Amino acid sequence: MAMMRLRREDPRVVGSFRIHRRLGAGGMGVVYLGSDRRGQRVALKVIRPDLAEDQEFRSRFAREVSAARRIRGGCTARLVAADLDADRPWFATQYVPGPSLHDKVGEEGPLAASRVAAVGAALAEGLVAVHEAGVVHRDLKPSNILLSPKGPRIIDFGIAWSTGASTLTHVGTAVGSPGFLAPEQVRGIAVTPASDVFSLGATLAYAATGDSPFGQGSSEVMLYRVVHEDPQLRGTPDALAPLIQACLAKDPADRPTTLQLSLRLKEIAVREARGTGAPAPQAAPRATERRTEALAPPPRPSGSHSAPPARAAAPERPEPSEARGAANPSSRGGTPQRRPRREPPRTTPAARPHTARTPAPRKGEPGSRPPARPRRPSYDRMLRQRLIVFVIVTVLVTLGIAAAQGCQGPV
């Protein structure tokens, strides 16, 4: 949000807040950046002097502020303080850092389908809390949505009046932006939560395409298109087009509720995120599998090295048989027969490959013998510590008894 220096006519202190910068000006008043004694930053809006003299506006302003205090939701700027009886009424909301949706799209272009769905789901969820508090925004548009690091935030709750501003129009008692105003607001019919659904649909269309679904033009032309013409959704992602079309229905009864809209947009956001982000997590495990396969061959050559001793053992087997054949003709050759019996390398070659394989798991998985050795000294240390504690306790007890007896002696 752009900040400007204070002008001469701007106040320096409002209530308990110190004014630092100008954040903007609208049909209702001027918005300032302020802070309290604790350093908490707020967006403080001061009503215009001419509106402050209108008692009807003051009563309406008081109703809106009291309703805003009941809103409980993470998608709205929390109301911090307000003074309805001041010469120029004002109210302060939590300052939300970050650009507006209008500026974000204007500078970087349309958002991706998954991002549009995620932002729309958060906004719809925030509108659920707003409507439960009995408040209808009546002026939801891209410039009233701030993209903070913690998620989108809705500001300026339906209390703006216009007097000749080109981006605002005054039809009966309805106020709003022509390209995002619901048809019933243009006709002067009482607004309902469905009016905010229409404005949210137009806002999502702007986020996805970079333009209003009713194009550009004068206020009269835009209002006529909103009431009589169908929205233009060219360039809207296929996943979002049917839902946005339903939000922009002329009849409020044909539009989805904010709860239905929130659930549907969450599904679309998850689906679109999976479609764009699925290949990346699949490629990672494949790379790890290749790495494990590359690390797996080392034990295989060890097995291949263990095979030759088995082959070498095979020729050793006929050697004792030949010795036995040579021992049969001579009776004195019995002693050489016992030596090959003692040698039998059949068990030793089998044991050797096992010993060759065991060192590898010992490094990764410690065997039972190595950890048993460090446990013995730790056990001895425990015994020593216990003995020392026991000796100290006994000494202290004896000293205490002696002291007690010494105190009782003179008495």
DSSP string, 32-100: EEEE-TT--EEEEEEE-HHHHT-HHHHHHHHHHHHHHHT---TTBPPEEEEESSSSS-EEEEE---S-B
For 314-334, letters b (16+ CB in 10 Å) and e give eeeeeebeeeeeebeeeeeee
Q: With beta carbons less than 8 A apart as the criterion, state whether 212 and 176 touch.
A: no
Of the candidates 139, 211, 238, 380, the residue annotated as catalytic is: 139
Query: Residue 134: what are its φ and ψ, rounded to 5°?
Result: 80, 25
User: Which amino acid, residue 28?
Assistant: M
Please choose, from the candidates 138, 196, 193, 201, the residue with its C-alpha nearest in 3D space to the C-alpha of residue 169: 138
Query: Residue 14: what are its φ and ψ, rounded to 5°?
Result: -130, 115
104 labelled as ligand-binding? no
DSSP state letter for 252: G
DSSP state letter for 146: E
Distance in angstroms (rounded) separating the CA atoms of residues 235 and 251: 24
Distance in angstroms (rounded) separating the CA atoms of residues 202 and 224: 15
For the chain, the distance separating the N- and C-terminal CA atoms, rounded to the nearest angstrom, is: 85
Check if 87 is active-site: no
Catalytic (active-site) positions = 139
Binding site, annotated residues: 45
Residues contributing to the annotated binding site for ATP: 45
